[in-house]
Amino acid sequence: MCLPLIIIFSFLIYFEDKSNPFYLGIRVGQNFELFKLYKLRSMIVRKNVGFQSTSSNDDRILKIGKIIRRTKIDELPQILNVLLGNINFVGPRPNVQDEVKKYTNLERKLLNYKPGITDFSSIIFSDEGDILKNSKDPDLDYNLYIRPRKNLIALLYFKDNNLLSDIYIVLLTIINIFDRKFALKMIYKFMSNKYKNFDLKFILRDKQLSKIENINNFFEIYEDKFF
């Protein structure tokens, strides 16, 4: 099922700008090892863009790129990364090296585990581009609005992950494409019942996210709840 989609969208990407439809990005994996992450290319090839994070109105995004980013079809080639042993199907998204260097001590514990194609945080922040829309500095705003919350959810996943929760994540990843509000409600219900001493209302995304000015303080509040 995945291979025909990859082939079809590879041709559509190539026809739009006559360039290689695949993108290989360097990411940080388990034990801080670097690896090449395979994706379908959703943006035009342009050097020295200056930002790692991408807003939904970034002028580099291809017309077909908007579709594959929204439906997560661009992630399908990562099945090859799964076969190579770089990532799992379920687990937090691997980050670029520049962002990992900014991690707090607690966040660095994520690198003890293998990353994945999808997880709860990937669903919650699947609208990352919209959050960063019109941002003058997408990388800075990613760290102020998204990264701390995203990594908190990822840490909670590793706190108590199992096969059933992984299956649940895969199902909600599909549901999120068609009914985002329902998917978020189900994640919030699942996680708030498990982690009653964590403030996880942001999962519902029914309010504008506030800035987290001091990320170290944000994680210090939660650190003793993990150990």
Range name among 12-16, 51-55, 94-98, 115-119 with the lowest pLDDT average: 51-55
End-to-end CA distance of the chain, in Å? Answer: 42
Confidence of residue 221 (pLDDT cuts 50, 70, 90): confident
Q: Is 55 helix (H, G, I), strand (E, B) or coil?
A: coil
How high is the pLDDT of residue 47? 55
Q: pLDDT by residue (tens digit) across 78-133?
A: 999 999 999 999 999 999 999 999 999 999 999 999 999 999 999 999 999 889 98
- Average pLDDT value for the chain: 90
Which residues make Cβ contacts (< 8 Å) with residue 195, sequence separation at least 6?
156, 159
CA 8 to chain centre: 24
Confidence of residue 46 (pLDDT cuts 50, 70, 90): low
How high is the pLDDT of residue 50? 55
Q: pLDDT by residue (tens digit) across 35-44?
A: 999 999 988 8
